[in-house]
């Protein structure tokens, strides 16, 4: 039986990724360290003992990572669609115009980026200017963007499936831990 210390997830002395994580598993914009921290948190919380428990705990952490990944991709898809719709409204007054990339000037492109800025003040100022200039409320465009995105719907479906699978696996894991604990409680102590 392998000791838990032999299953170290991150070698602090090494800049190489852990051997069990393929770089292909980390997409652009994702953080390998964050992934490993999530896995470590799961392992600490679940406290697996047997090899099978370690395997299930690892799968649970992987499900969580995949769920977070699909949420990020869904949100990015909606934001890109929102930017495109806003650009169409700015250029032609119609979200369905579908402006050619070559038609979009730098000022319009930057304004659309401001509408989705992570900085709350930049976003609020851009939304106020957008409403004043176009008479379109940003929430109207957001509703259009999120409701009409097939890519976002795909990610929502994938998230629901992964969450269902994670719940089932967690139930199995918890039942396994209870069974393991019961066997130990019923054991006879020999001296």
Per-residue pLDDT reduced to its tens digit, 143-166:
888 887 788 899 999 999 999 999
Domain regions of the chain by residue span: 32-182
Give the dihedral sign, CA 21/24/25/27: positive
Q: How far apart are CA 173 and CA 126, in angstroms?
A: 48
Per-residue pLDDT reduced to its tens digit, 123-134:
999 999 999 999
Cβ–Cβ < 8 Å for 114, 122: yes
Q: How far apart are CA 145 and CA 38, in angstroms?
A: 31
pTM value surpassing 0.85? no
Q: How far apart are CA 33 and CA 39, in angstroms?
A: 10
């Amino acid at each position: 039986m392998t000791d838990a210390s032999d299953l170290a997830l991150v070698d602090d002395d090494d800049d190489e990724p852990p051997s069990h994580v393929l770089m292909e598993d980390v997409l652009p914009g994702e953080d390998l360290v964050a992934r490993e921290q999530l896995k470590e948190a799961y392992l600490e919380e679940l406290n697996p003992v047997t090899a099978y428990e370690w395997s299930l705990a690892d799968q649970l952490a992987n499900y969580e990572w995949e769920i977070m990944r699909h949420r990020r991709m869904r949100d990015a898809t909606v934001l890109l669609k929102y930017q495109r719709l806003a650009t169409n409204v700015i250029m032609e007054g119609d979200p369905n115009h579908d402006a050619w990339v070559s038609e979009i000037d730098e000022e319009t492109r930057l304004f659309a980026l401001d509408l989705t800025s992570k900085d709350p003040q930049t976003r609020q100022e851009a939304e106020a200017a957008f409403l004043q200039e176009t008479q379109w409320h940003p929430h109207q465009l957001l509703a259009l963007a999120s409701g009409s995105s097939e890519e976002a719907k795909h990610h929502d479906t994938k998230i629901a499936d992964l969450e269902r699978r994670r719940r089932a696996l967690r139930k199995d894991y918890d039942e396994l831990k209870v069974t393991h604990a019961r066997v130990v409680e019923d054991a006879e102590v020999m001296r």
